[in-house]
Chains A and B, each alone.
Chain A
Protein backbone atom coordinates (compact mmCIF):
# COMPACT_ATOMS: atom_id res chain seq x y z
CA UNK A 1 0.00 0.00 0.00
CA UNK A 2 2.56 2.54 1.12
CA UNK A 3 5.32 3.07 -1.40
CA UNK A 4 8.18 5.32 -0.54
CA UNK A 5 8.82 6.98 -3.83
CA UNK A 6 10.55 10.29 -3.54
CA UNK A 7 8.44 12.95 -5.12
CA UNK A 8 9.50 16.49 -5.99
CA UNK A 9 8.01 18.92 -3.49
CA UNK A 10 4.95 20.51 -5.00
CA UNK A 11 3.52 21.83 -1.78
CA UNK A 12 1.98 25.17 -1.03
CA UNK A 13 1.06 25.59 -4.68
CA UNK A 14 -2.14 23.54 -4.31
CA UNK A 15 -4.91 25.74 -5.65
CA UNK A 16 -8.13 26.23 -3.72
CA UNK A 17 -10.52 23.40 -4.38
CA UNK A 18 -13.53 25.47 -5.39
CA UNK A 19 -12.74 24.99 -9.10
CA UNK A 20 -13.72 21.57 -10.49
CA UNK A 21 -10.85 19.39 -11.65
CA UNK A 22 -10.47 17.12 -14.68
CA UNK A 23 -9.58 13.45 -14.20
CA UNK A 24 -7.38 11.52 -16.59
CA UNK A 25 -6.46 7.85 -16.68
CA UNK A 26 -3.72 6.91 -19.10
CA UNK A 27 -3.33 3.19 -19.85
CA UNK A 28 -4.06 2.27 -16.25
CA UNK A 29 -3.70 -1.36 -15.20
CA UNK A 30 -4.32 -2.62 -11.66
CA UNK A 31 -3.07 -6.00 -10.56
CA UNK A 32 -3.87 -6.95 -6.95
CA UNK A 33 -1.26 -8.77 -4.82
CA UNK A 34 -3.33 -11.98 -5.17
CA UNK A 35 -2.78 -11.85 -8.94
CA UNK A 36 -6.25 -10.67 -9.96
CA UNK A 37 -6.06 -8.08 -12.73
CA UNK A 38 -8.99 -5.79 -11.94
CA UNK A 39 -8.32 -3.07 -14.50
CA UNK A 40 -6.74 -3.60 -17.92
CA UNK A 41 -5.19 -0.74 -19.86
CA UNK A 42 -7.96 1.80 -19.25
CA UNK A 43 -7.60 5.30 -20.68
CA UNK A 44 -10.17 7.98 -19.98
CA UNK A 45 -10.51 11.73 -19.67
CA UNK A 46 -13.24 13.37 -17.59
CA UNK A 47 -13.76 17.10 -18.18
CA UNK A 48 -14.13 19.47 -15.20
CA UNK A 49 -17.75 19.71 -14.06
CA UNK A 50 -18.89 16.59 -15.91
CA UNK A 51 -21.43 14.19 -14.37
CA UNK A 52 -20.31 10.77 -15.50
CA UNK A 53 -21.44 7.26 -14.68
CA UNK A 54 -19.34 4.11 -14.73
CA UNK A 55 -21.52 1.09 -15.48
CA UNK A 56 -20.69 -2.56 -15.21
CA UNK A 57 -21.53 -5.73 -13.35
CA UNK A 58 -19.96 -6.42 -9.98
CA UNK A 59 -16.40 -7.54 -10.54
CA UNK A 60 -16.08 -5.46 -13.70
CA UNK A 61 -13.48 -3.14 -12.13
CA UNK A 62 -15.70 -0.12 -11.31
CA UNK A 63 -14.73 -0.02 -7.63
CA UNK A 64 -11.07 -0.48 -8.46
CA UNK A 65 -11.15 2.28 -11.06
CA UNK A 66 -12.79 4.81 -8.75
CA UNK A 67 -10.24 3.98 -6.03
CA UNK A 68 -7.28 4.63 -8.32
CA UNK A 69 -8.51 8.22 -8.59
CA UNK A 70 -7.92 9.00 -4.90
CA UNK A 71 -5.09 6.52 -4.51
CA UNK A 72 -6.93 4.07 -2.22
CA UNK A 73 -5.82 1.51 -4.80
CA UNK A 74 -2.47 2.22 -6.48
CA UNK A 75 -2.24 1.77 -10.25
CA UNK A 76 0.18 -1.01 -11.13
CA UNK A 77 1.05 0.70 -14.39
CA UNK A 78 -0.15 3.76 -16.28
CA UNK A 79 -0.83 7.23 -14.95
CA UNK A 80 -3.75 8.74 -13.05
CA UNK A 81 -4.03 12.52 -12.99
CA UNK A 82 -6.54 14.52 -10.96
CA UNK A 83 -6.45 18.29 -11.45
CA UNK A 84 -2.85 19.40 -10.83
CA UNK A 85 -1.91 16.14 -9.06
CA UNK A 86 -0.39 13.02 -10.55
CA UNK A 87 -1.84 10.38 -8.23
CA UNK A 88 0.49 7.60 -9.35
CA UNK A 89 3.51 7.52 -7.04
CA UNK A 90 2.07 9.92 -4.47
CA UNK A 91 2.39 8.86 -0.86
CA UNK A 92 2.22 10.18 2.66
CA UNK A 93 1.30 13.81 3.18
CA UNK A 94 0.98 14.63 -0.53
CA UNK A 95 -1.45 11.76 -1.09
CA UNK A 96 -3.54 12.85 1.91
CA UNK A 97 -3.53 16.38 0.59
CA UNK A 98 -4.89 15.19 -2.76
CA UNK A 99 -7.56 13.11 -1.01
CA UNK A 100 -8.61 16.23 0.86
CA UNK A 101 -9.78 17.64 -2.48
CA UNK A 102 -11.58 14.46 -3.60
CA UNK A 103 -14.84 13.61 -1.83
CA UNK A 104 -16.04 10.03 -1.85
CA UNK A 105 -19.22 8.22 -0.84
CA UNK A 106 -19.72 4.47 -0.54
CA UNK A 107 -22.35 1.77 -1.01
CA UNK A 108 -22.40 1.00 2.72
CA UNK A 109 -22.13 4.67 3.75
CA UNK A 110 -19.12 3.91 6.00
CA UNK A 111 -20.14 6.19 8.84
CA UNK A 112 -18.86 5.65 12.37
CA UNK A 113 -22.10 4.30 13.83
CA UNK A 114 -21.17 5.07 17.43
CA UNK A 115 -20.07 8.63 16.78
CA UNK A 116 -22.45 11.56 16.36
CA UNK A 117 -23.47 12.81 12.92
CA UNK A 118 -21.50 15.95 13.76
CA UNK A 119 -18.24 14.05 14.37
CA UNK A 120 -18.85 12.01 11.23
CA UNK A 121 -19.17 15.11 9.07
CA UNK A 122 -16.09 16.69 10.65
CA UNK A 123 -14.08 13.78 9.19
CA UNK A 124 -14.36 15.72 5.95
CA UNK A 125 -12.26 18.52 7.48
CA UNK A 126 -9.39 16.22 8.53
CA UNK A 127 -7.03 17.07 5.70
CA UNK A 128 -7.44 20.77 6.54
CA UNK A 129 -7.07 20.42 10.32
CA UNK A 130 -4.08 19.82 12.61
CA UNK A 131 -4.00 16.19 13.77
CA UNK A 132 -4.13 17.01 17.51
CA UNK A 133 -7.44 18.80 16.95
CA UNK A 134 -9.01 15.93 15.03
CA UNK A 135 -7.82 13.42 17.66
CA UNK A 136 -9.50 15.43 20.42
CA UNK A 137 -12.56 16.05 18.25
CA UNK A 138 -12.34 19.79 18.86
CA UNK A 139 -13.20 21.66 15.70
CA UNK A 140 -12.36 25.27 14.89
CA UNK A 141 -15.41 27.52 14.53
CA UNK A 142 -14.80 27.77 10.76
CA UNK A 143 -14.73 23.98 10.35
CA UNK A 144 -17.81 23.62 12.53
CA UNK A 145 -19.56 26.14 10.31
CA UNK A 146 -18.58 24.28 7.12
CA UNK A 147 -19.80 20.98 8.58
CA UNK A 148 -23.14 22.47 9.65
CA UNK A 149 -23.67 24.06 6.24
CA UNK A 150 -22.88 20.79 4.49
CA UNK A 151 -25.43 19.00 6.68
CA UNK A 152 -28.00 21.71 5.99
CA UNK A 153 -27.47 21.39 2.24
CA UNK A 154 -28.56 17.74 2.35
CA UNK A 155 -31.42 18.45 4.78
CA UNK A 156 -29.86 16.59 7.71
CA UNK A 157 -29.06 19.49 10.05
CA UNK A 158 -31.73 18.51 12.58
CA UNK A 159 -30.02 15.12 13.05
CA UNK A 160 -26.63 16.64 13.85
CA UNK A 161 -26.44 15.35 17.45
CA UNK A 162 -27.78 11.87 16.74
CA UNK A 163 -25.57 8.84 16.49
CA UNK A 164 -24.65 7.73 12.99
CA UNK A 165 -26.03 4.28 13.75
CA UNK A 166 -29.45 5.68 14.66
CA UNK A 167 -30.18 6.86 11.10
CA UNK A 168 -31.94 5.10 8.23
CA UNK A 169 -30.01 4.07 5.12
CA UNK A 170 -31.02 7.12 3.11
CA UNK A 171 -30.20 9.45 6.00
CA UNK A 172 -26.80 7.79 6.43
CA UNK A 173 -25.99 8.33 2.76
CA UNK A 174 -26.98 12.00 3.03
CA UNK A 175 -24.69 12.40 6.05
CA UNK A 176 -21.96 10.68 4.03
CA UNK A 177 -22.56 13.19 1.22
CA UNK A 178 -22.33 16.01 3.78
CA UNK A 179 -19.06 14.52 5.02
CA UNK A 180 -17.68 14.57 1.47
CA UNK A 181 -19.03 18.09 0.82
CA UNK A 182 -17.42 19.47 3.96
CA UNK A 183 -14.08 18.69 2.30
CA UNK A 184 -15.04 21.43 -0.19
CA UNK A 185 -13.90 19.00 -2.86
CA UNK A 186 -13.08 19.59 -6.51
CA UNK A 187 -14.12 16.05 -7.48
CA UNK A 188 -16.85 13.83 -6.06
CA UNK A 189 -16.56 10.05 -6.35
CA UNK A 190 -19.50 7.77 -5.58
CA UNK A 191 -19.09 3.98 -5.44
CA UNK A 192 -22.52 2.37 -5.92
CA UNK A 193 -24.11 5.09 -3.74
CA UNK A 194 -27.68 3.77 -4.03
CA UNK A 195 -27.17 0.01 -4.24
CA UNK A 196 -28.20 -0.46 -0.59
CA UNK A 197 -31.23 1.84 -0.77
CA UNK A 198 -34.89 1.36 -1.69
CA UNK A 199 -36.00 2.88 -5.04
CA UNK A 200 -37.54 6.19 -3.80
CA UNK A 201 -34.54 6.88 -1.55
CA UNK A 202 -32.20 5.89 -4.36
CA UNK A 203 -33.80 8.48 -6.62
CA UNK A 204 -33.54 11.24 -4.03
CA UNK A 205 -29.86 10.48 -3.34
CA UNK A 206 -29.13 10.48 -7.08
CA UNK A 207 -30.97 13.80 -7.32
CA UNK A 208 -28.77 15.15 -4.50
CA UNK A 209 -25.66 14.18 -6.47
CA UNK A 210 -27.09 15.76 -9.61
CA UNK A 211 -27.83 18.97 -7.71
CA UNK A 212 -24.27 19.04 -6.30
CA UNK A 213 -22.96 18.68 -9.84
CA UNK A 214 -25.15 21.46 -11.19
CA UNK A 215 -25.06 23.96 -8.32
CA UNK A 216 -21.43 23.59 -7.25
CA UNK A 217 -20.14 22.60 -10.69
CA UNK A 218 -18.27 19.63 -9.17
CA UNK A 219 -16.86 16.88 -11.33
CA UNK A 220 -18.95 13.85 -10.30
CA UNK A 221 -18.10 10.25 -11.10
CA UNK A 222 -20.71 7.66 -10.08
CA UNK A 223 -20.38 3.88 -10.18
CA UNK A 224 -23.72 2.27 -10.99
CA UNK A 225 -24.95 -1.09 -12.12
CA UNK A 226 -28.49 0.00 -13.00
CA UNK A 227 -29.05 1.22 -16.57
CA UNK A 228 -32.02 3.51 -15.93
CA UNK A 229 -30.21 5.48 -13.22
CA UNK A 230 -27.24 5.99 -15.50
CA UNK A 231 -29.48 7.23 -18.33
CA UNK A 232 -31.57 9.50 -16.12
CA UNK A 233 -28.99 11.25 -13.98
CA UNK A 234 -25.69 11.33 -15.84
CA UNK A 235 -24.66 12.96 -19.07
CA UNK A 236 -21.86 10.63 -20.07
CA UNK A 237 -21.43 6.93 -19.49
CA UNK A 238 -18.41 4.65 -19.29
CA UNK A 239 -18.92 0.92 -19.61
CA UNK A 240 -16.53 -1.56 -17.98
CA UNK A 241 -16.48 -5.28 -18.58
CA UNK A 242 -13.90 -7.57 -17.01
CA UNK A 243 -11.61 -4.63 -16.35
CA UNK A 244 -11.70 -3.25 -19.88
CA UNK A 245 -13.34 -0.06 -21.08
CA UNK A 246 -16.03 -1.19 -23.54
CA UNK A 247 -18.26 1.87 -23.85
CA UNK A 248 -17.82 5.62 -23.71
CA UNK A 249 -20.59 7.93 -24.87
CA UNK A 250 -23.58 10.06 -23.93
CA UNK A 251 -25.63 8.24 -21.28
CA UNK A 252 -29.01 9.20 -22.72
CA UNK A 253 -28.17 7.66 -26.10
CA UNK A 254 -27.03 4.32 -24.72
CA UNK A 255 -29.29 1.64 -26.20
CA UNK A 256 -30.31 -1.64 -24.61
CA UNK A 257 -27.88 -3.30 -27.02
CA UNK A 258 -25.08 -1.15 -25.63
CA UNK A 259 -25.94 -2.28 -22.11
CA UNK A 260 -26.02 -5.92 -23.22
CA UNK A 261 -22.54 -5.39 -24.61
CA UNK A 262 -21.37 -3.91 -21.27
CA UNK A 263 -23.03 -6.60 -19.16
CA UNK A 264 -21.96 -9.36 -21.54
CA UNK A 265 -25.45 -10.89 -21.34
CA UNK A 266 -29.08 -10.07 -22.21
CA UNK A 267 -30.82 -7.34 -20.17
CA UNK A 268 -32.57 -8.67 -17.07
CA UNK A 269 -35.28 -7.20 -14.85
CA UNK A 270 -32.77 -6.55 -12.08
CA UNK A 271 -30.75 -4.22 -14.32
CA UNK A 272 -33.38 -1.52 -13.82
CA UNK A 273 -34.34 0.22 -10.60
CA UNK A 274 -37.89 1.00 -11.72
CA UNK A 275 -39.45 -2.18 -13.06
Chain B
Protein backbone atom coordinates (compact mmCIF):
# COMPACT_ATOMS: atom_id res chain seq x y z
CA UNK B 1 0.00 0.00 0.00
CA UNK B 2 2.58 2.53 1.03
CA UNK B 3 5.25 3.81 -1.37
CA UNK B 4 8.18 2.41 0.63
CA UNK B 5 7.12 -1.21 0.28
CA UNK B 6 6.75 -1.24 -3.51
CA UNK B 7 9.20 -3.40 -5.41
CA UNK B 8 12.01 -1.85 -7.40
CA UNK B 9 13.21 -3.82 -10.39
CA UNK B 10 15.89 -1.32 -11.42
CA UNK B 11 18.75 -2.76 -9.32
CA UNK B 12 18.02 -6.34 -10.29
CA UNK B 13 17.44 -7.57 -6.76
CA UNK B 14 13.81 -7.45 -5.87
CA UNK B 15 12.86 -5.72 -2.68
CA UNK B 16 10.00 -7.92 -1.67
CA UNK B 17 7.74 -6.30 0.90
CA UNK B 18 7.52 -8.08 4.21
CA UNK B 19 4.58 -10.42 4.18
CA UNK B 20 2.13 -9.19 6.81
CA UNK B 21 1.38 -11.71 9.52
CA UNK B 22 -1.55 -11.02 11.67
CA UNK B 23 -1.50 -12.62 15.11
CA UNK B 24 -5.25 -12.22 15.69
CA UNK B 25 -5.96 -14.16 12.49
CA UNK B 26 -3.53 -16.93 13.49
CA UNK B 27 -5.08 -17.14 16.93
CA UNK B 28 -8.54 -17.35 15.39
CA UNK B 29 -7.45 -20.24 13.18
CA UNK B 30 -5.94 -22.03 16.14
CA UNK B 31 -9.17 -21.58 18.06
CA UNK B 32 -11.18 -23.00 15.16
CA UNK B 33 -8.86 -26.03 15.02
CA UNK B 34 -9.26 -26.63 18.76
CA UNK B 35 -13.03 -26.32 18.45
CA UNK B 36 -13.18 -28.89 15.65
CA UNK B 37 -11.05 -31.40 17.56
CA UNK B 38 -13.03 -30.81 20.75
CA UNK B 39 -16.30 -31.36 18.90
CA UNK B 40 -15.32 -34.90 17.96
CA UNK B 41 -13.46 -35.77 21.17
CA UNK B 42 -16.27 -36.86 23.43
CA UNK B 43 -18.84 -38.20 20.98
CA UNK B 44 -17.57 -41.76 21.19
CA UNK B 45 -17.42 -42.11 17.45
CA UNK B 46 -16.61 -45.63 16.33
CA UNK B 47 -15.02 -44.91 13.01
CA UNK B 48 -15.10 -48.55 12.04
CA UNK B 49 -18.90 -48.40 11.88
CA UNK B 50 -18.62 -45.76 9.16
CA UNK B 51 -17.37 -48.48 6.85
CA UNK B 52 -20.53 -50.54 7.27
CA UNK B 53 -22.80 -47.51 6.85
CA UNK B 54 -23.50 -47.95 3.10
CA UNK B 55 -24.49 -51.59 3.52
CA UNK B 56 -26.59 -50.84 6.63
CA UNK B 57 -28.32 -48.03 4.76
CA UNK B 58 -29.11 -50.33 1.88
CA UNK B 59 -30.37 -52.97 4.30
CA UNK B 60 -32.83 -50.66 6.06
CA UNK B 61 -33.90 -49.01 2.83
CA UNK B 62 -34.83 -52.46 1.56
CA UNK B 63 -36.71 -53.22 4.79
CA UNK B 64 -38.67 -49.98 4.56
CA UNK B 65 -39.40 -49.59 0.89
CA UNK B 66 -39.21 -53.00 -0.78
CA UNK B 67 -42.64 -54.03 0.43
CA UNK B 68 -44.37 -51.14 2.27
CA UNK B 69 -47.41 -52.06 4.31
CA UNK B 70 -49.99 -49.94 2.46
CA UNK B 71 -52.80 -51.12 4.73
CA UNK B 72 -51.54 -48.53 7.23
CA UNK B 73 -52.00 -45.71 4.68
CA UNK B 74 -55.45 -44.49 5.89
CA UNK B 75 -54.19 -44.24 9.47
CA UNK B 76 -51.02 -42.50 8.23
CA UNK B 77 -53.05 -39.98 6.22
CA UNK B 78 -55.32 -39.31 9.19
CA UNK B 79 -52.34 -38.68 11.48
CA UNK B 80 -50.73 -36.48 8.85
CA UNK B 81 -53.93 -34.48 8.70
CA UNK B 82 -53.73 -34.03 12.48
CA UNK B 83 -50.12 -32.86 12.13
CA UNK B 84 -51.00 -30.38 9.40
CA UNK B 85 -53.96 -29.11 11.45
CA UNK B 86 -51.59 -28.68 14.39
CA UNK B 87 -49.17 -26.77 12.17
CA UNK B 88 -51.90 -24.56 10.74
CA UNK B 89 -53.49 -23.73 14.10
CA UNK B 90 -50.05 -23.07 15.52
CA UNK B 91 -49.16 -20.79 12.60
CA UNK B 92 -52.43 -18.83 12.83
CA UNK B 93 -52.14 -18.32 16.59
CA UNK B 94 -48.43 -17.61 16.38
CA UNK B 95 -48.71 -15.11 13.53
CA UNK B 96 -51.55 -13.20 15.20
CA UNK B 97 -49.66 -13.03 18.50
CA UNK B 98 -46.39 -12.14 16.72
CA UNK B 99 -48.08 -9.34 14.80
CA UNK B 100 -49.65 -7.90 17.92
CA UNK B 101 -46.38 -8.13 19.86
CA UNK B 102 -43.98 -7.48 16.99
CA UNK B 103 -45.41 -4.16 15.79
CA UNK B 104 -44.97 -2.36 19.15
CA UNK B 105 -41.43 -3.79 19.25
CA UNK B 106 -40.48 -1.92 16.07
CA UNK B 107 -38.36 1.19 16.31
CA UNK B 108 -40.51 4.26 15.77
CA UNK B 109 -43.69 2.55 17.00
CA UNK B 110 -43.33 1.58 20.64
CA UNK B 111 -41.28 3.54 23.19
CA UNK B 112 -38.01 2.06 24.42
CA UNK B 113 -39.50 0.67 27.66
CA UNK B 114 -41.92 -1.38 25.56
CA UNK B 115 -39.45 -2.38 22.82
CA UNK B 116 -36.65 -3.68 25.00
CA UNK B 117 -38.68 -6.09 27.20
CA UNK B 118 -40.55 -7.40 24.14
CA UNK B 119 -37.35 -8.05 22.23
CA UNK B 120 -35.88 -9.71 25.28
CA UNK B 121 -38.91 -12.04 25.50
CA UNK B 122 -38.56 -12.91 21.79
CA UNK B 123 -34.89 -13.70 22.28
CA UNK B 124 -35.62 -15.97 25.24
CA UNK B 125 -38.32 -17.82 23.26
CA UNK B 126 -35.91 -18.23 20.33
CA UNK B 127 -33.47 -19.90 22.67
CA UNK B 128 -35.99 -22.58 23.73
CA UNK B 129 -36.74 -25.39 21.24
CA UNK B 130 -40.41 -26.11 20.44
CA UNK B 131 -40.08 -29.58 21.96
CA UNK B 132 -39.07 -28.11 25.31
CA UNK B 133 -41.94 -25.60 25.16
CA UNK B 134 -44.33 -28.46 24.43
CA UNK B 135 -43.02 -30.42 27.44
CA UNK B 136 -43.64 -27.40 29.65
CA UNK B 137 -47.14 -26.85 28.24
CA UNK B 138 -48.24 -30.48 28.36
CA UNK B 139 -48.20 -30.31 32.14
CA UNK B 140 -51.25 -28.08 31.71
CA UNK B 141 -53.00 -29.22 28.54
CA UNK B 142 -51.95 -32.88 28.43
CA UNK B 143 -50.77 -35.01 25.52
CA UNK B 144 -53.07 -33.58 22.85
CA UNK B 145 -52.50 -32.06 19.41
CA UNK B 146 -53.65 -28.79 20.94
CA UNK B 147 -50.52 -28.86 23.11
CA UNK B 148 -48.52 -29.21 19.92
CA UNK B 149 -50.32 -26.29 18.30
CA UNK B 150 -49.75 -24.10 21.37
CA UNK B 151 -46.07 -25.04 21.46
CA UNK B 152 -45.71 -24.15 17.77
CA UNK B 153 -47.55 -20.86 18.34
CA UNK B 154 -45.43 -19.81 21.30
CA UNK B 155 -42.21 -21.12 19.79
CA UNK B 156 -43.04 -19.31 16.56
CA UNK B 157 -43.30 -15.95 18.33
CA UNK B 158 -39.55 -15.91 18.91
CA UNK B 159 -38.61 -15.72 15.25
CA UNK B 160 -41.84 -14.50 13.72
CA UNK B 161 -42.16 -11.45 15.98
CA UNK B 162 -38.55 -10.61 15.13
CA UNK B 163 -39.34 -10.86 11.40
CA UNK B 164 -42.41 -8.70 12.02
CA UNK B 165 -40.59 -5.82 13.68
CA UNK B 166 -37.75 -6.00 11.17
CA UNK B 167 -40.26 -5.82 8.31
CA UNK B 168 -42.05 -2.90 9.97
CA UNK B 169 -38.76 -1.08 10.49
CA UNK B 170 -37.89 -1.45 6.81
CA UNK B 171 -41.06 0.38 5.71
CA UNK B 172 -40.26 3.90 4.39
CA UNK B 173 -41.06 6.59 6.97
CA UNK B 174 -42.96 8.99 4.69
CA UNK B 175 -46.48 7.63 5.02
CA UNK B 176 -46.17 7.34 8.80
CA UNK B 177 -45.05 10.96 8.96
CA UNK B 178 -48.08 12.00 6.93
CA UNK B 179 -50.44 10.13 9.25
CA UNK B 180 -48.76 11.70 12.28
CA UNK B 181 -48.90 15.14 10.65
CA UNK B 182 -52.66 14.87 10.26
CA UNK B 183 -53.08 14.06 13.95
CA UNK B 184 -52.99 10.26 13.92
CA UNK B 185 -52.05 8.40 17.11
CA UNK B 186 -49.69 5.41 17.37
CA UNK B 187 -52.39 2.88 16.49
CA UNK B 188 -53.45 4.87 13.45
CA UNK B 189 -49.85 5.27 12.31
CA UNK B 190 -49.39 1.50 12.60
CA UNK B 191 -52.66 0.75 10.79
CA UNK B 192 -52.44 3.22 7.90
CA UNK B 193 -48.80 4.32 7.80
CA UNK B 194 -47.07 0.96 8.22
CA UNK B 195 -49.52 -1.91 7.69
CA UNK B 196 -50.40 -1.22 4.01
CA UNK B 197 -46.72 -1.29 3.08
CA UNK B 198 -45.76 -4.23 5.30
CA UNK B 199 -48.79 -6.52 5.02
CA UNK B 200 -47.85 -8.48 1.84
CA UNK B 201 -44.48 -9.38 3.25
CA UNK B 202 -45.96 -10.22 6.66
CA UNK B 203 -48.56 -12.49 5.05
CA UNK B 204 -45.87 -14.19 3.03
CA UNK B 205 -43.81 -14.72 6.18
CA UNK B 206 -46.93 -16.11 7.89
CA UNK B 207 -47.28 -18.78 5.21
CA UNK B 208 -43.60 -19.54 5.51
CA UNK B 209 -44.15 -20.00 9.24
CA UNK B 210 -46.85 -22.59 8.35
CA UNK B 211 -44.38 -24.47 6.13
CA UNK B 212 -41.84 -24.54 8.96
CA UNK B 213 -44.52 -25.71 11.39
CA UNK B 214 -45.46 -28.64 9.15
CA UNK B 215 -41.89 -29.89 9.50
CA UNK B 216 -41.63 -29.11 13.21
CA UNK B 217 -44.97 -30.79 13.99
CA UNK B 218 -43.51 -34.14 12.91
CA UNK B 219 -40.73 -33.67 15.48
CA UNK B 220 -43.26 -32.73 18.17
CA UNK B 221 -44.83 -36.15 17.67
CA UNK B 222 -41.74 -37.58 19.34
CA UNK B 223 -43.00 -36.50 22.75
CA UNK B 224 -46.43 -37.97 22.08
CA UNK B 225 -48.71 -35.02 21.30
CA UNK B 226 -50.19 -36.92 18.37
CA UNK B 227 -49.90 -36.68 14.61
CA UNK B 228 -47.60 -38.38 12.17
CA UNK B 229 -44.50 -37.93 14.34
CA UNK B 230 -46.14 -39.88 17.14
CA UNK B 231 -46.96 -42.73 14.77
CA UNK B 232 -43.46 -42.67 13.31
CA UNK B 233 -41.84 -43.00 16.74
CA UNK B 234 -44.13 -45.85 17.70
CA UNK B 235 -43.52 -47.98 14.64
CA UNK B 236 -39.78 -47.28 14.68
CA UNK B 237 -39.55 -48.46 18.28
CA UNK B 238 -41.33 -51.72 17.38
CA UNK B 239 -39.08 -52.02 14.32
CA UNK B 240 -42.03 -52.41 11.92
CA UNK B 241 -40.00 -51.13 9.01
CA UNK B 242 -42.60 -51.81 6.32
CA UNK B 243 -44.97 -49.35 8.05
CA UNK B 244 -42.19 -46.83 8.75
CA UNK B 245 -41.54 -46.83 5.00
CA UNK B 246 -45.14 -45.82 4.30
CA UNK B 247 -44.99 -43.09 6.93
CA UNK B 248 -41.79 -41.63 5.52
CA UNK B 249 -43.26 -41.59 2.02
CA UNK B 250 -46.39 -39.85 3.29
CA UNK B 251 -44.39 -37.25 5.27
CA UNK B 252 -42.16 -36.42 2.32
CA UNK B 253 -44.99 -36.19 -0.22
CA UNK B 254 -47.25 -34.10 2.02
CA UNK B 255 -44.47 -31.74 3.13
CA UNK B 256 -43.28 -31.19 -0.43
CA UNK B 257 -46.82 -30.59 -1.69
CA UNK B 258 -47.53 -28.07 1.04
CA UNK B 259 -44.22 -26.31 0.37
CA UNK B 260 -44.99 -26.14 -3.34
CA UNK B 261 -48.53 -24.78 -2.95
CA UNK B 262 -47.61 -22.37 -0.15
CA UNK B 263 -44.55 -21.18 -2.03
CA UNK B 264 -46.66 -20.48 -5.06
CA UNK B 265 -49.17 -18.47 -3.02
CA UNK B 266 -46.33 -16.52 -1.43
CA UNK B 267 -44.94 -15.64 -4.85
CA UNK B 268 -48.35 -14.43 -5.96
CA UNK B 269 -48.68 -12.25 -2.86
CA UNK B 270 -45.32 -10.58 -3.42
CA UNK B 271 -45.94 -10.08 -7.14
CA UNK B 272 -49.36 -8.63 -6.47
CA UNK B 273 -47.81 -6.29 -3.95
CA UNK B 274 -45.57 -4.77 -6.60
CA UNK B 275 -48.10 -3.39 -9.03
CA UNK B 276 -51.78 -4.00 -9.17
CA UNK B 277 -54.61 -1.58 -9.45
CA UNK B 278 -57.73 -2.07 -7.39
CA UNK B 279 -59.95 -0.23 -9.79
CA UNK B 280 -63.51 -0.48 -8.54
CA UNK B 281 -64.81 2.30 -10.76
CA UNK B 282 -64.87 0.25 -13.95
A positions within 8 Å CB-CB of B:
2, 70, 72, 96-100, 102-104, 106, 108-116, 119, 123-124, 126-127, 131, 134-135, 158, 160-163, 165-166, 176, 179-180, 183
Contacts and interface: CB of A to CB of B under 8 A. Distances in A.
A117 B135 CA distance: 50
B179 interface: yes
B191 A123 contact: no
A113 B199 CA distance: 12
B276 A179 contact: no
A126 B187 CA distance: 11
B177 A162 contact: no
B185 interface: yes
Contact of A110 (B174, B183, B184, B281): B174
Contacts of B280: 116, 161
B187 A106 contact: no
Contacts of A96: 183-185
- The interface centre, meaning the residue of A112, A113, A180 with most chain B CB atoms within 10 A of its CB, is A112
B68 interface: no
B106 to A, nearest CB: 14
B279 A176 contact: no
A103 B182 contact: yes
A95 to B, nearest CB: 8
B175 A112 contact: yes
B200 A166 contact: no
Interface in B161-196: 174-175, 177-185, 187-188, 191-193, 196
B197 interface: yes
Contact of A115 (B181, B196, B273): B196
B42 interface: no
A162 B182 contact: no
B191 A134 contact: yes
Given A72-B177, A114-B199, A165 B192 contact: no
Given A113-B196, A160-B281, A162-B278, A72 B181 contact: yes
A110 B279 contact: no
A115 B182 CA distance: 17
Contact of B193 (A99, A103, A112, A183): A112
Contacts of A163: 276-278
B191 A104 contact: no
A123 B184 contact: yes
A268 B56 CA distance: 82
Interface of B: 111, 174-175, 177-185, 187-188, 191-193, 196-197, 199-200, 273, 275-281
6 contacts: A99-B182, A110-B178, A113-B197, A119-B192, A126-B179, A180-B182
A263 to B, nearest CB: 27
Contact of B187 (A103, A104, A124, A135): A135
B183 A131 contact: no
Contacts of B179: 123, 126
A72 B256 CA distance: 50
B196 A112 contact: yes
A45 to B, nearest CB: 22
A126 B188 contact: yes
B278 A124 contact: no
A5 B9 CA distance: 74
A262 B217 CA distance: 67
B281 A161 contact: yes
A111 B196 CA distance: 10
A180 B197 CA distance: 21
Contacts of A110: 174-175, 177-178
Contact of A127 (B175, B182, B276, B278): B182
Contacts of B196: 112-115
A103 B273 CA distance: 29
Contacts of B177: 72, 106, 110
A2 B111 contact: yes
Contacts of B174: 106, 108-110
B187 A131 contact: yes
Given A72-B177, A123-B192, A114 B277 contact: no
A123 B276 contact: no
Contacts of B200: 114
A112 B192 contact: yes
A165 B172 CA distance: 14
A183 B183 contact: yes
Q: Which 9 residue pairs across A and B have the least CB separation, nearest first?
A: A127-B183, A100-B183, A110-B174, A110-B178, A161-B280, A99-B183, A112-B196, A104-B181, A114-B196
A97 B184 CA distance: 9
A99 B182 CA distance: 5
Given A72-B177, A112-B196, A135-B191, A126 B182 contact: yes
A127 B275 contact: no
A179 B192 CA distance: 13
